[in-house]
Structure 1
């Protein structure tokens, strides 16, 4: 099991989704298009979406077929996506971090990089290091 309780053997793929929309004024300080992120995890049983928000974390089973172009659908909604794979991180405690959408997505994917704090930094990391 990964730190967030996701069995990475079950989830073979992930789609990290970035959005510029926000209801929180202070998030407007972040780079446009990269003010929030969430992840869809895919495996043999289908897809789930984990969307960590300021007031709650929403977990949804996505009722779609394996052939459905989920990345294309998110793109049609004006969202930016990066395809990646969850990995098993080293079995050691991670340092304390505020609970943010970025921190939750990192833990679901097995990313332990301490310097990734914003959605834009996560996007750049995924584009450079997780091709």
Structure 2
């Protein structure tokens, strides 16, 4: 399954605006199951899940044209349980990707982790 993680500043709450790195105050995930892109956007007022567009649409280019940072990601099977942690946009994306790492709790740290995984 193809996955991309999108980072941006729009819709971020008070604390991310105060302490977050510019351009990396919020993140969400888009998954391509071969039929459509599904967007999972965890927000403070609830998680939005949408079947966005057809699978062959270049969603990465669409988000980059809007000025967002986009990283490809690998979806892994999660082995075992995840530790109890604050539910944030980062934690939701990590769990959907099967990514572990208690030290990853900001969108920028998640970006750096994905960047390192892709050898960039």
Instruction: Give the alignment's Cα RMSD to 1 decimal.
Output: 1.3
Name whichever structure is richer in strand by fraction: 2
Cα 1:24–1:113 change in 2 (3 A) is: same
Q: Which has the higher contact order (CA 8 A, sep 6+)?
A: 1
How far apart, in 2, do the equivalents of 1:117 and 1:73 lie?
26
- 1:74 equivalent in structure 2: 63
**Residues 25-75 of structure 1: CA deviation (Å, up to 9, x unaligned):** 221111000000000001222210000000110000012351x21111001
Give structure 1 stretches of 5+ with no counterpart.
Answer: 1-11
- The number of residue pairs the alignment matches comes to 118
Cα 1:99–1:75 change in 2 (3 A) is: same
Match of 1:103 among 81, 84, 91: 91
Give structure 2 stretches of 5+ with no counterpart.
Answer: none
What TM-score, normalized by structure 1, do the two folds share?
0.85
Q: Does 1:57 align with 2:47?
A: yes
Match of 1:19 among 8, 13, 19: 8
How far apart, in 2, do the equivalents of 1:119 and 1:51 lie?
13
What TM-score, normalized by structure 2, do the two folds share?
0.92
